[in-house]
């Protein structure tokens, strides 16, 4: 059960509400988010919803059978829209395109990609400054100094920054230089990190775990929401299966399922989903047709020289062609 409180509810009304919930043997938890207050209630038996719904100070009340309650569409039918400022939104019916390198490598590289994105009216740049690598000897990012350069050039050009945070200790130092925190696949069940991100006011994009189920992804989002942050989006980035023809198996069926189960925006990542440059464009287009609110993709001026993930990064001309195709595909989807 989810109880949405009136914004002007007073202390006495709130105390009476909790007394009523206790009398009805409903385990109740107050959640304060960026926007308002809710109570999540877990009843131990049957009760009449009207006994609570008619009390003063309540804006709305819903029965929600899903264990992930706050991110469920069963109580919130309208899609969540994430406002990044400067006219940039995600989840409002427009297609969000996020593009950039796997890793931030140098200031010169940042400037090159920013100029490319401006030319193509792409308003969100991806790029890692902390890189979770399978091998400890691989390039692991430029850290906070790289992020400061990344933010400087993007903010000067009206472009928003999405980058991965790997551990709790990184959140606070990164806060002023990030527009969207990305939780990578390896950290999708790092509940300590999710708890801390729930206490920030910055949007969070959670990638599906390497072998994670759809429900597990929704539980991860519930951690962030229950911590107080409603600005959440989900990302299908491929899962590990027995197939070895691609880096991962991009589960496009997850996109319409997530759109049905949750009110949160859903993003598709074809770069990690297949890991092979020539397969990225068709999977990106298929992701849009599947209902994705946005696409996050890897690009590089010279992928063969990239410090990481070169084989799945698009050359600029390939990316420019794909941007046009993505926008046309979104128009086609709107006709259905």
Q: Which of 19-40 are b and which e, b meaning 16 or more Cβ less than 10 Å from the residue's Cβ? A: eebeebebebeebebeeebbbb
Helices 254-261 and 214-226 sit at what angle, rounded to 10 degrees? 40
Whether 12 has a pLDDT exceeding 80, the answer reads yes
| Residues 90 and 50 placed together within one structural domain of the fold | no
**What does the pLDDT read at residue 81?**
97
Between vectors from CA 205 to CA 200 and to CA 206, what angle results, nearest 5°?
A: 105
Assign residue 7 the CATH number of its domain: 3.30.70
pLDDT digits (tens, 9 = 90+) for 47-93: 888 889 889 999 999 999 898 999 999 999 899 999 999 999 999 99
| Residues 245 and 197 placed together within one structural domain of the fold | yes
Is residue 67 domain-resident?
no
Is residue 261 domain-resident?
yes
pLDDT digits (tens, 9 = 90+) for 220-229: 999 999 999 9
| Residues 130 and 172 placed together within one structural domain of the fold | yes
- Among 15, 34, 62, identify where a domain stops: 62
pLDDT digits (tens, 9 = 90+) for 284-330: 999 999 999 999 999 999 999 999 999 999 999 999 999 999 999 99
Is residue 203 domain-resident?
yes
Is residue 68 domain-resident?
no
pLDDT digits (tens, 9 = 90+) for 243-276: 999 999 999 999 999 999 999 999 999 999 999 9
Count of domains observed in the chain = 2
Whether 169 has a pLDDT exceeding 90, the answer reads yes
Strands 2-5 and 37-43: antiparallel
Residue 336: CB atoms within 10 A of its CB come to: 6
| Residues 90 and 54 placed together within one structural domain of the fold | no
**What does the pLDDT read at residue 95?**
98
Domain coverage including residue 6: 2-62
Is residue 75 domain-resident?
no
Alpha carbon of residue 90 to chain centroid: 10
Assign residue 286 the CATH number of its domain: 3.20.20.70
Phi, psi of 30 (to 5 degrees): -85, 130
Whether 133 has a pLDDT exceeding 70, the answer reads no
| Residues 219 and 274 placed together within one structural domain of the fold | yes
Is residue 69 domain-resident?
no
Is residue 199 domain-resident?
yes
Tokens 């692991």 sit at which residue? 140
Give CA–CA dist 184/270, Å, rounded: 14
Q: Give the DSSP per-residue string, 40-105.
A: EEEESS---THHHHTSTTEEEEE---SSS-TTBTTT--SPP-EEEETTEEESSSSPEEEEE-SB--
Strands 160-164 and 124-126: parallel
| Residues 30 and 173 placed together within one structural domain of the fold | no
Is residue 272 domain-resident?
yes
| Residues 149 and 117 placed together within one structural domain of the fold | yes
């Amino acid at each position: 059960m989810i109880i949405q409180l009136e914004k002007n509810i007073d202390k006495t009304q709130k105390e009476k509400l909790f007394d009523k919930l206790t009398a009805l043997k409903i385990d109740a938890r107050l959640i304060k988010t960026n926007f308002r207050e809710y109570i999540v209630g877990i009843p131990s038996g049957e009760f009449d919803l009207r006994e609570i719904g008619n009390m003063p100070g309540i804006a709305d009340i819903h029965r929600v059978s899903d264990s992930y309650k706050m991110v469920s569409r069963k109580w919130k039918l309208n899609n969540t829209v994430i406002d990044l400022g400067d006219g940039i939104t995600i989840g409002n019916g427009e297609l969000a395109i996020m593009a950039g390198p796997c890793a931030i490598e140098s200031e010169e590289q940042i400037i090159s990609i920013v100029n490319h994105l401006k030319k193509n009216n792409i308003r969100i740049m991806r790029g890692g400054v902390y890189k979770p690598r399978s091998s400890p000897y691989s390039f692991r990012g430029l850290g906070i100094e790289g992020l400061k350069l990344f933010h400087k050039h993007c903010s000067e050009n009206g472009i928003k920054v999405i980058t991965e945070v790997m551990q709790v200790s990184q959140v606070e130092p990164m806060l002023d230089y990030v527009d969207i925190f990305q939780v990578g696949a390896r950290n999708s069940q790092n509940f300590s990190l999710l708890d801390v991100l729930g206490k920030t006011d910055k949007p969070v994009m959670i990638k599906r775990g390497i072998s994670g189920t759809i429900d597990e992804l929704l539980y991860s989002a519930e951690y962030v929401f229950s911590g107080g942050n409603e600005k959440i989006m989900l990302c299908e980035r491929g899962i590990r299966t027995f197939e070895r023809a691609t880096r991962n198996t991009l589960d496009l069926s997850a996109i319409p399922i997530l759109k049905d189960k949750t009110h949160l925006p859903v993003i598709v990542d074809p770069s990690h989903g297949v890991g092979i440059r020539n397969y990225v464009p068709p999977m990106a287009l298929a992701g849009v047709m599947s209902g994705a609110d946005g696409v996050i993709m890897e690009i590089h001026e010279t992928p063969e020289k990239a410090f990481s993930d070169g084989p799945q990064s698009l050359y600029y001309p390939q990316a420019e062609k794909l941007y046009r195709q993505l926008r046309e595909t979104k128009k086609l989807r709107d006709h259905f």
